[in-house]
Amino acid sequence: MGKQPTERSEKQSPIERLSAFIVDKRKAFYLIYIGVAIFSVFSSGWVAVNDDLTSYLPDTTETRRGLTIMDEEFVTFGTSRIMVDNIAYSQAEALAEQVEAIEGVKSVEFDGTEDHYQGGGALLSITYGGTASDPVSLAALEEVKALLEDYDVYVTGDTGDSASESLDAEMQVVMIIAVVIILVVLLFTSHTYMEIPVLLMTFGMAALMNKGTNFIFGEISFVSDSVAVVLQLALAIDYAIILCHRYTEEREHLEAREAVVAALSKAIPEISGSSMTTLSGLGAMCFMQFKIGYDLGLVLMKAIVLSLLAVFTLMPGLLMSFSPLIDRTHHKNFVPQITGWGRLAVKTRFVMPPLFVVLLIGGFVFANRCPYAYGQTDLTTFRKNDTQIAQAKVNGTFGSVNTLAVLVPRGDYEQEGRLLREMDRMPETDTVLGLANVEAMDGYVLTDRLTPRQFAEITDLDIEVARLLYSAYAVDQETYGQLVSGVDSFGVPLIDMFLFVYDQMEAGYVSLDDDMTETIEDLHQQLTDAQLQLKGQDYSRMVLQLNLPEESEETFAFLDTLHGVVAKYYAEDAYLVGNSTSDLDLSTSFGKDNLLIGILTIVFVIVVLVFTFKSSGLPVLLILVIQGSVWINFSFPYLQNEPLFFLSYLVVSSIQMGANIDYAIVIANRYVELKQTMPLKEAVIESLNEAFPTIITSGTILASAGILIGFLSSNPAIASIGVCLGRGTLISIFLVMGILPQILLLGDIIIEKTAFTLKARLPVQAHSGTMRVDGHIRGYISGVVDADFSGLLHGSINAAVEAGAVQPQDLPETALSGKEGTSHV
């Protein structure tokens, strides 16, 4: 390849010494990475994955506080709504009885009403003996499925929900397809075939390290766990490509070792600077009130840092080790020159920017009218899993269920009863359940206060035995004052008295006849279940079924009304908890998060750009283009009248601003450098030519990753992030390649006036023919020249002359031969 050994400078910079150390100690680094890889394989299974988005709500929200109370004080039994289609009512009745006989099934609700049977479809509402994740409930569900396997069955509910498992399987498919697409892109844009395995090994190690170190967070969200690897690949593979291209350039005139050292020493500052904008965008997510942003931001920031580490310490050794194969597998450049596109951009520079301004204003208006969804019920995905298909079938036949819990301080059953009755009269509630309206026997509810005589009547106890029990209860509860006025007037809530009698029976203090003993024992299990679900240590829980959608203006208005009703009975320490309240809380925090993240992202990125370009005007122009792409991206949901999951906006706007700004930086860097030695129009055209391979490689990978996630994931939150990311990246590429060059041309005066250290641009001289060149020039003379030059030149020059002059000469061709300093073209 015509490489010549070069003299090494005796005095190397610190970064050159570090680069040489990394290359020379590559085998030691190999051993370290092998050990890290083995460790990461095992440690990747240590991290806990949280499927519950509500757990990331701010601690101050009503839903989060209410959920904490429910977790601490109440038991919520697992449930399933199972629809058996194309079945006769009599068969469904028989099946319900068989299901209820299965161990672990607590109860099965089924009757002849339209709520449970219509159109040949039967709905079995099953409650299990444990929570949704309890092995008892899961085992019972599997037995139910086995019993119904010969029927047309649709299973929904919170028990046995394998959303995280199906999401993992989907992401594995996404990853495989993404790798294939990356291979195709790299084959198209690479310089040699053998650099592709080097790139894949580098990224594979970075991805494995990131997954293997997630355990340091203890627990991560299913969002971070599912998309981190794909986004890491899309966001960070640029760094490996930059180093690889640097090496290829240096290898043209240096031996392998020196080429790797030189490439690494030049790439470290470039890659580090490039990564700062991405890290800034991700860092802004960590300030979200909704802590899912903090979770995803930390995981992805760690992914970027580990990717940098792999590129800086593993990849140089791989390049060195594979250098003979890299040298032998060079291929022609498949990336075309886009000079025609550049000329079109120059010609339309007075047409497209005004259109972009119109598009920018429209994007801003439409993006701010984007319809957001805060729950996942109303979201649709291109791909649906079995659970979603079943949910659609059951909801389409029997309607959806919107459950709401009301938590109030316990202790006053009468007050609870009045509240329950008022809520039951509200037209928005279908059913209302609480201890104060659950009928026990003979028309009495569980919280009714019964005297000894009333208790004796419903239990057929002797009145004297009942009085003794009441006296014993008063002593047990240390309510001696009740006995002063006479035990006959002492009223005890029915549930408390039954549980006390059962405890006395178990202790052997009370003996009842066989029938009464059996009745008490049967009631005890029901009362215990009711107490576990509805009566806590400090709070009572009431459960409402609403006939409203989970998320709508009408639902949110009803929640405000319900708050007012509850406040009449409990001025404080009362909470509403459910999917609807969660959506309301998320909508409230979204407005603050949206403003905060938008401002922080722009501020962080501008700070990085100001230090990168040492200019205040150029960063604003770059931000304008990328922010425009964000607004245009989020105009689509409004124009399509489709709700957008709020998290998609927060995540994608940060990533789009932090990552896609790199495309604008690539072109701006080239332009600022080339305009010193070329006319502005030609500098723009050449900038596009030089930047196109980098942008098309990175952009295609990021857009493909997003689109794959969007089309192949059945999880609405994940799919929504993927669609927005893919679409946003394509819009950014178009604006960066089409509009940014024109803005740079028209705004060059702003760039010049706002530069901190930029030297005044020397006028570019253009000559052709024979000329005498005497002085320091920098530019194009049938190639790039940056040197002190003295002599005659025959050909063409297009360069800035920093000192000296260029004087056209009129000499015969023969006079040029053999002269020192003469360039023949």
Question: What does pLDDT average to over the chain?
Answer: 83
pLDDT for residue 607 is more than 60: yes
Cβ contact 452:470 at 8 Å? yes
Q: 616 vs 562, which has greater pLDDT?
A: 562
Check residue 825 and give its pLDDT: 30
Task: Provide the β-strand partners of residue 285.
Answer: none
Encode 25-62: b = buried (16+ Cβ within 10 Å), e = exposed: ebeebeeebeebeeebeebbeebebbeebbebbbeebb
Q: How many CB atoms lie within 10 A of CB 269?
A: 10
User: Rounded distance, CA 801 to CA 676, Å?
Assistant: 10
pLDDT in tens, 632-688: 999 999 999 888 888 888 888 877 877 778 788 888 888 888 887 778 888 888 888
pLDDT for residue 692 is more than 50: yes
User: What angle, 0 to 180 degrees and rounded to 10, lies between the N-to-C axes of helices 14-24 and 26-43?
Assistant: 70
pLDDT for residue 820 is more than 50: no
Distance of CA 291 to the CA centre of its chain: 11
Q: How many CB atoms lie within 10 A of CB 8?
A: 11
Cβ contact 208:33 at 8 Å? no
Q: What is the 3-state secondary structure (H, E, C) of 124-167?
A: EEEEECCCCCCHHHHHHHHHHHHHCCCCEEEEECCCCCCHHHHH
Check residue 804 and give its pLDDT: 59
pLDDT for residue 559 is more than 90: yes
User: Rounded distance, CA 254 to CA 266, Å?
Assistant: 14
Q: What percent of the chain has pLDDT over 70?
A: 89
* Three-state secondary-structure class, residue 795: strand
Segment 550-555 shows an average pLDDT of 90
Check residue 816 and give its pLDDT: 40
pLDDT in tens, 359-411: 999 999 999 898 888 887 777 788 887 788 888 888 888 888 889 999 999 88
Output phi, psi for 432, to 5 deg: -135, 130
Q: Is 202 exposed, middle or buried (0-12, 13-18, 19+ CB in 10 A)?
A: buried
User: Rounded distance, CA 195 to CA 191, Å?
Assistant: 8
Q: Within a 13 Å sphere around the CA of 502, how many CA atoms are in the beta-carbon half?
A: 17
User: Rounded distance, CA 68 to CA 640, Å?
Assistant: 38
* Residue from 257, 252, 388, 399 nearest 330 by CA: 252
User: Rounded distance, CA 695 to CA 670, Å?
Assistant: 13
Check residue 407 and give its pLDDT: 94
Cβ contact 550:580 at 8 Å? yes
Distance of CA 392 to the CA centre of its chain: 25
User: Rounded distance, CA 399 to CA 311, Å?
Assistant: 54
pLDDT for residue 693 is more than 60: yes
Check residue 687 and give its pLDDT: 87
Rg (CA), the chain: 36
Return all residues near 804 (Cβ < 8 A) that are at least 6 apart: 773, 774, 775, 776, 777
**Sequence-ordered alpha helix ranges (H) in 386-462:** 386-398, 413-424, 452-459
* Three-state secondary-structure class, residue 94: helix
* Residue from 447, 449, 454, 451 nearest 433 by CA: 447
pLDDT for residue 3 is more than 70: no
Distance of CA 238 to the CA centre of its chain: 21
Q: Which two tokens stand for residue 430?
A: 């279908």
Cβ contact 597:287 at 8 Å? yes
User: Rounded distance, CA 363 to CA 330, Å?
Assistant: 45
pLDDT for residue 788 is more than 70: no
What confidence category does residue 555 fall into, taking pLDDT thresholds of 50, 70 and 90? very high
Q: Within a 13 Å sphere around the CA of 609, how many CA atoms are in the beta-carbon half?
A: 30
Return all residues near 664 (Cβ < 8 A) that are at least 6 apart: 622, 625, 626, 736, 740
Segment 148-174 shows an average pLDDT of 79
Residue type, 717: A
Give, as one character, the DSSP assignment of residue 216.
G
Segment 142-166 shows an average pLDDT of 83
Range of lowest pLDDT (319-333, 448-462, 542-556, 797-811) = 797-811
pLDDT for residue 296 is more than 70: yes
User: Rounded distance, CA 718 to CA 171, Å?
Assistant: 10
pTM, whole model, 2 decimals? 0.76
Check residue 238 and give its pLDDT: 77
Residue count of the chain:
825
pLDDT in tens, 246-289: 888 888 888 889 999 998 998 888 788 778 878 888 888 888 88
Cβ contact 341:686 at 8 Å? no
Check residue 48 and give its pLDDT: 86
User: Rounded distance, CA 765 to CA 644, Å?
Assistant: 54
pLDDT for residue 519 is more than 50: yes
Check residue 817 and give its pLDDT: 42
User: Rounded distance, CA 610 to CA 623, Å?
Assistant: 11
* Three-state secondary-structure class, residue 351: coil
What confidence category does residue 162 fall into, taking pLDDT thresholds of 50, 70 and 90? low
In the chain, what is the straight-line distance between the N-terminal and C-terminal CA atoms, in Å? 22
Encode 556-578: b = buried (16+ Cβ within 10 Å), e = exposed: bebbeebeeebeeebeeebbbbb
Task: Provide the β-strand partners of residue 129.
Answer: none
Check residue 395 and give its pLDDT: 86
Segment 51-62 shows an average pLDDT of 82
Segment 291-311 shows an average pLDDT of 90
Check residue 32 and give its pLDDT: 94
User: Rounded distance, CA 732 to CA 667, Å?
Assistant: 13
* Residue from 740, 751, 722 nearest 628 by CA: 740
Regarding beta strands 219-221 and 48-50, do their DSSP bridges make them parallel or antiparallel, or are they unpaired? parallel
User: Rounded distance, CA 512 to CA 505, Å?
Assistant: 8
Helices and strands in the chain, H and E counts: 30, 20
